[in-house]
C-alpha cells in the first residue's frame, strides 16, 4: 500500500510540473527527458486538441535513431508511470526507448466508446464517437507525430476503463494501425456489453493477427466482471495465429488502480528482451532468426542474434541434457560470429559434455588459434586443451 501511495504521489508531482508548462504551450527540458506540447485544430473532430509528447533520453544525442511510439489515452498524468516502468525494463535490456504521446481529453465518453449507451446502469445517450476519434489518430495525430519526431512503425495504444474499450475497438476497426493494444480494466459493461459482442465476433472470424493484446481487471464485480470474463475467455479460447494475448486479474485492486497494478506486466510481456528466452526456441534454430527479426521490428533497429545471448540458449540446453540441440545452437552461433573465441569455446564444451572428445579438442584448438593476449580466459582454454588431449590419449 505504501508503494502504491508513493507511486501515486510521484505521478501527481510530475504531472503537476508538466501541466505548468503544458498550458503555456512551450517546451520543457528536464534532466532526463524533453517534453513538448502540441495544441492544434482537428478537422476530423472539429475542435482544438492537445497532446503531450515525451521524448527518450537519447533523442538529442543520437540524431539518427528512431523510436517506437506509445499513445496513451487520458492525458499526460499517465506519462510518469509508463515512463518509469519502461525505463526499468530498458535498464535490463528488456525494452527499447520509446516516445510517449499522451492525448488530453475534451469529451471522453464521446471519444472512447464506439456505441451510444442505452443501458440504464450508465449515462444513457453518451458515446458513439470512437470511429471519429480513431480517424483523428489515423489522419491527423499519427501523421503529426511522424512528421515532427523520429518514429518507426511500431505503435502501442494504451488506455484504462473507457480508454481500454477504445484500445480494443482500434484492434477491430483498424487492426494494422497499432501493433499493440493495452486495455486496463476496460469498461466492457457499456451498452449491454456491446464491445464484448463485437470483439468476440472479430476474434471468431480472424485467422491471423500480428498483434499484442493485454487486458486486466481488479476487484470489479457484477455485470462488469461477468462481461469482462466473457471477453477474456473468448480471446483466450480462440487461438488466433500471431496474436500474443495476456491477461491479469488483481484481487483487492480498485478499478482506478488497475493501470498501476498492470503496467509492468503489460510492457514486460509486450517488448521482446535482447536475451532470447529459452521458451521462444523451437527445434529449428531458424526460430532464433525469427525472434530477432521481430525484436528488430519492435525496437526500431537492426539487432542480429548476439553472441552471448545465443550461447546462453545453448548452455541452457546443456543444463537440461539436450546436448544435440545445444550443439546445433552453438554451431548456428559460430556462423554469425566465426571469429568469436567464446563461440568456439562454447561449441567445444557442447561436444565435450556430449562425449565427443575429438571434436571438443578441435574446437578448443580453433579458439586458441584466434585468441590474442587480451583474451581473459586463455589459461582456461589451455587447461581444457591439455585435459582433452589427455582424455583422448587415454581412450586410444
**Alpha carbon 384 to chain centroid, angstroms:** 42
Q: What is the pLDDT of residues 192-247, one digit of tens each?
A: 999 999 999 999 999 999 999 999 999 999 999 999 999 999 999 998 999 999 99
Sorted by sequence, the CB contacts under 8 Å of residue 105 that are 6+ apart come out as 74, 75, 111
Give the orientation angle of helix 79-91 with respect to helix 2-22, to 10 degrees.
Answer: 110
Q: Over 70: is that where the pLDDT of 172 sits?
A: yes
- Give the pLDDT score at 394: 86
pLDDT at 15 over 60: no
The pLDDT assigned to 98 comes to 98
C-alpha cell at 70: 506509445
Distance, in Å, from the CA atom of 335 to the CA atom of 340, rounded to the nearest integer, reads 10
Pick from 74, 98, 53: nearest CA to 185: 74
Q: Rounded to two decimals, what is the model's pTM?
A: 0.87
Cα within 13 Å of Cα(355), Cβ side = 4
Amino acid at each position: 500500500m505504501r508503494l502504491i501511495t508513493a507511486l501515486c504521489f510521484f505521478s501527481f508531482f510530475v504531472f503537476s510540473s508538466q501541466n505548468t508548462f503544458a498550458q503555456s504551450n512551450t517546451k520543457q527540458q528536464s534532466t532526463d527527458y524533453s517534453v513538448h506540447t502540441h495544441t492544434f485544430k482537428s478537422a476530423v473532430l472539429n475542435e482544438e486538441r492537445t497532446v503531450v509528447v515525451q521524448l527518450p533520453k537519447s533523442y538529442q544525442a543520437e540524431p539518427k535513431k528512431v523510436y517506437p511510439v506509445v499513445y496513451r489515452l487520458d492525458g499526460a498524468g499517465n506519462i510518469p508511470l509508463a515512463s518509469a516502468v519502461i525505463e526499468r525494463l530498458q535498464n535490463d535490456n528488456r525494452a527499447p526507448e520509446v516516445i510517449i504521446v499522451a492525448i488530453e481529453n475534451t469529451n471522453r465518453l464521446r471519444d472512447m466508446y464506439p456505441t451510444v449507451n442505452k443501458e440504464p446502469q450508465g449515462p444513457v445517450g453518451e458515446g458513439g464517437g470512437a470511429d471519429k476519434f480513431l480517424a483523428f489518430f489515423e489522419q491527423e495525430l499519427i501523421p503529426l507525430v511522424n512528421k515532427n519526431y523520429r518514429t518507426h512503425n511500431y505503435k502501442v495504444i494504451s488506455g484504462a476503463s473507457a480508454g481500454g474499450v477504445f484500445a480494443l475497438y482500434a484492434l477491430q476497426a483498424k487492426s494494422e494501425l497499432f501493433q499493440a493494444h493495452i486495455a486496463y480494466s476496460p469498461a466492457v459493461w457499456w451498452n449491454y456489453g456491446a464491445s464484448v459482442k463485437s470483439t468476440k465476433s472479430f476474434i471468431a472470424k480472424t485467422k491471423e493477427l500480428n498483434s499484442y493484446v493485454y487486458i486486466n481487471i481488479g476487484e470489479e464485480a457484477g455485470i462488469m466482471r461477468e462481461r469482462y470474463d466473457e471477453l477474456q475467455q473468448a480471446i483466450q479460447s480462440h487461438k488466433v495465429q500471431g496474436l500474443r494475448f495476456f491477461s491479469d486479474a488483481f484481487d483487492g485492486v480498485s478499478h482506478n488502480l488497475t493501470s498501476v497494478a498492470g503496467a509492468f506486466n503489460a510492457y514486460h510481456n509486450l517488448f521482446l528482451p535482447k536475451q532470447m528466452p529459452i521458451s521462444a526456441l523451437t527445434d529449428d534454430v531458424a526460430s532464433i532468426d525469427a525472434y530477432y527479426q521481430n525484436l528488430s521490428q519492435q525496437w526500431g533497429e537492426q539487432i542480429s542474434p548476439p553472441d552471448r545471448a545465443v550461447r546462453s540458449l545453448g548452455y541452457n540446453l546443456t543444463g537440461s541434457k539436450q546436448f544435440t540441440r545445444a550443439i546445433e545452437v552453438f554451431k548456428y552461433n559460430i556462423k554469425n560470429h566465426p571469429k568469436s573465441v567464446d563461440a568456439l569455446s562454447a561449441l567445444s564444451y557442447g561436444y565435450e559434455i556430449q562425449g565427443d572428445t575429438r571434436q571438443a579438442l578441435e574446437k578448443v584448438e580453433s579458439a586458441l588459434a584466434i585468441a590474442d593476449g587480451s583474451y581473459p580466459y586463455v589459461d582456461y582454454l589451455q587447461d581444457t586443451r591439455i585435459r582433452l588431449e589427455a582424455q583422448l590419449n587415454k581412450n586410444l
